[in-house]
A and B are shown apart, each in its own frame.
Chain A
Amino acid sequence: MKSTPTKKARASKNGRSPQSDGSKPARWNLRLYVAGQTPRSITAFQNLKNICEEYLKGQYHIEVVDLMQNPTLARGDQIVAVPTLVRKLPQPIRKIIGDLSNTERVLVGLDIQPR
């Protein structure tokens, strides 16, 4: 799971892997599972990026996993629905499904805002 160089490479090439600080490990480790470059995946990524920039600037790392290309990865994080955002860090793992259009709920889901 840790080794997803293709994803990272592709993501960074598209300028979709914003990382606040390359040297310091991110406090927020997020992984977004999508299935292909569908409008919904793109929307989800955009929404996520916006939220992170606004609330977690400089402390987050986003990894995008395309299950179309790597279907085996769906098992590890028990992905059923797409898009699914998985908060790997900080513990505990949390999952948010959907296109992340409701910012309020994303913030609650990520425990950035109290419920």
Chain B
Amino acid sequence: MIKANRRNRPNNVVGLQKERTGIAGFDEITGGGLPAGQPTLICGSAGAGKTLFAMEFLVRGAMLHNEPGVFVSFEETDEELATNVSSLGFDLKQLIADKKLVLDYVFIERSEIEETGEYDLEGLFLRLGHAIDEIGAKRIVLDTLEALFSALPNEAIIRAELRRLFRWLKEKGVTAVITCERGEGTLTRYGLEEYVADCVILLDNRVQNQISTRRLRIVKYRGTAHGTNEYPFFIDENGFSVLPITSISLDHKAPTQRVSTGNTRLDNMLGGRGFYRASSILVSGTAGTGKSTIAAHFVDAACGRGERALYFAFEESQDQIIRNMRSIGIDLEKYVKKGVLKFQNARPSNFGLEVHLALIHKMIADFEPQIVVVDPITNFLAIGDDIQTKAMLTRLIDFLKLRQITAMFTSLTGSSSEIEDSEVGVSSLMDVWLLVKNIESNGERNRGLYVLKARGIAHSNQVREFLLTDHGIELIDAYVGSEGVLMGSARASQEARERAGTVAREQARQRQQRELQRKQELYESQLLALKHQFEADRDAILRELEEDQSRESVEATQRLEMARLRHADIAVQVEENGARRKSRKGTVR
């Protein structure tokens, strides 16, 4: 908005001086306000808000810009005026006491009046002149000047005098607002627009589908660029609010900063770091797929980082959302208490589309969030047709991007329609599109989450199974096998089968190891037994050998003894047995 002003500033310098009205949004669409020192025509049918616009122009001028004003009413008495606008917080009596405002009720009773001969409206001029001079007014309002036509019989005189009046007002240098009733097929019933050729503003209140929407259009603004669209406006306890909602151009910045989705797995699906800041995210899905939960996660993460979030809920009340999200372990209430999270709950049918948009604008301007959630956008279809809804959302998205707000929109897809066909057809406006889908198989429904699109982000093209647990969302790799994607109990049983297989293999391995162990023990024990037998055999053999030897030596000894006894030829025998004797000398002796 500031940008728009800056762009229009050269215009102001060269051409027209503008006077800020102080009416919210109006100065933005006109690039600075009404033409200073010139009359402006405000036309509209009964109840369009003409008087209020005019009065706010004066009150804001007096309060914000210290410019006193005169309100000349042809329809309502001073008392009625003061009462009517007091509900908007305008204290006219105080302003009058402060010499910031003069109310003048001009009343002409036709039945009291007889016309004889020539006259002029100098009396009115003098009254106006006096009122202007009394407080040094810079602004003047003539509320339904056309009342003159019904009050005075001679239209020719009135027309001539009105021409003079507008010239006179210009000479006086006051910025004038003249309100007029709208005529059949014309802007004003008496063709006043031909006198006020510089700036004409049309107020309108249309009812469509039993919902009324106020709109404002600048029909003409000579010498300056201005928005030509119809701008919705509304009147609330703070007065008039016009919303410059049509984005001027597609030149918003694209930040590279990323924001987390609130779920690590989902962040991972989006290149590991979540969404881009100031991007718009569409979460679509059929009923009960967890769209709001994804939004709640996103809000929870944002508030956790200390950012401010605004949640527009068109289906649930604040308490209901907080309660439901608590059941999955997300505590939003603490953020509401801290003042960083705000819920705006309204039924879509409360207002028209444009007023919704206007209210959203106003809330965003007041709250200044970094994150906005609109849940769901499909409900707008109840109050407008496809084209209107799409146009409204386009403007909303542009506005959010302009303010660098990351926005998440949920969209309910009807179960009968094509699931990837987001009903409002806004997907082309969105930077990221998450689809939550109910996948029905084996007699059960399971949620699958896809990233259908994520501009500028390398994202996963795989479906994830999406679980709602008591600690929030859990994303699980869906099992992809020969039978396709398995989810839910099918995935669980598949996993169980895999687990069972693993266990069996493990058991087999352990069994083989035990077998090996057993074999080793067996062979080792056999080895031991053999060794024992060998030792036993060896001992036996050695023992036999020894016995044999000792027997031999005993025999030899006996033979020697015998020989000695028989005095045999010992020498011969000694020689014969010499070798044996030598080797066993020790043992023999």
Q: Which residues of A contact B (CB under 8 A)?
A: 33, 35-36, 40, 44, 47, 67-68, 71-72, 74-75, 78-84, 92-102, 105-106, 108-109
Contacts and interface: CB of A to CB of B under 8 A. Distances in A.
B129 A96 contact: no
Contact of A78 (B107, B116, B126, B148): B107
B121 A105 contact: no
B127 A97 contact: no
Main secondary structure on B side of the interface with A: mixed
B148 A105 contact: no
7 contacts: A40-B119, A78-B106, A84-B119, A96-B116, A97-B114, A105-B114, A105-B115
Given A74-B127, A75-B104, A80-B148, A35 B122 contact: yes
B127 A94 contact: no
Interface string B118-134: 11111110110110000
Given A35-B123, A78-B107, A98-B119, A108 B114 contact: yes
B117 interface: yes
Interface in B23-57: none
Contacts of A93: 112
Nearest to A87: B112
A98 B118 CA distance: 5
A22 to B, nearest CB: 29
A55 to B, nearest CB: 14
B121 to A, nearest CB: 5
A75 B127 contact: yes
A94 B116 contact: no
A99 B148 contact: no
Given A75-B127, A80-B108, A80-B148, A98 B117 contact: yes
B162 interface: no
A40 B152 CA distance: 18
A101 B107 CA distance: 25
A98 B112 CA distance: 14
Contact of A94 (B112, B118, B120, B151): B112
B114 A95 contact: yes
Given A79-B123, A80-B121, A97-B115, 11 more contacts: A40-B118, A71-B126, A71-B130, A74-B123, A80-B152, A84-B123, A96-B114, A97-B152, A99-B117, A105-B116, A108-B114
A78 B148 CA distance: 13
Nearest to B158: A81
A93 B108 CA distance: 12
A100 B130 CA distance: 26
Contacts of B571: none
For the complex of A and B, 5 pairs with smallest distance between CB atoms = A109-B114, A71-B130, A101-B117, A98-B117, A99-B117
A94 B116 CA distance: 13
A74 B116 contact: no
Interface in B123-167: 123-124, 126-127, 129-130, 148, 151-152
A82 B114 CA distance: 13
B113 interface: yes
Contacts of A74: 123, 126-127, 130
Contacts of A75: 104, 127
Contacts of A78: 106-109
Contacts of A82: 119-123
Contact of B115 (A47, A71, A72, A98): A98
A75 to B, nearest CB: 7
A99 B104 CA distance: 26
A99 B108 contact: no
Nearest to A41: B122
B130 A72 contact: yes
A48 B314 CA distance: 72
B119 A97 contact: yes
Nearest to A115: B114
A84 B121 CA distance: 10
A97 B112 contact: no
A72 B152 CA distance: 22
Nearest to A101: B117
Contacts of B120: 40, 81-82
B124 A80 contact: yes
Nearest to A35: B122
Contacts of B114: 94-97, 105-106, 108-109
Contacts of A95: 112-114
A81 B117 contact: no
Indicate the member of A36, A47, A95 with the most B CB atoms within 10 Å.
A95
Nearest to B157: A81
A98 B117 CA distance: 5
Contacts of B121: 80-82
A13 to B, nearest CB: 23
Nearest to B127: A74
A66 to B, nearest CB: 10
Contacts of A92: 112
A84 to B, nearest CB: 7
Contacts of A106: 114, 116
Contacts of B127: 71, 74-75, 79-80
A40 B120 CA distance: 10
A97 B129 contact: no
B78 to A, nearest CB: 11
Contacts of B119: 40, 81-84, 97-99
B254 to A, nearest CB: 61
A79 B148 CA distance: 12
A79 B106 CA distance: 8
Contact of A96 (B113, B123, B130, B151): B113
Contacts of A105: 114-116
A68 B130 CA distance: 10
A47 B117 CA distance: 11
A20 to B, nearest CB: 23
Contacts of B122: 35-36, 67, 81-82
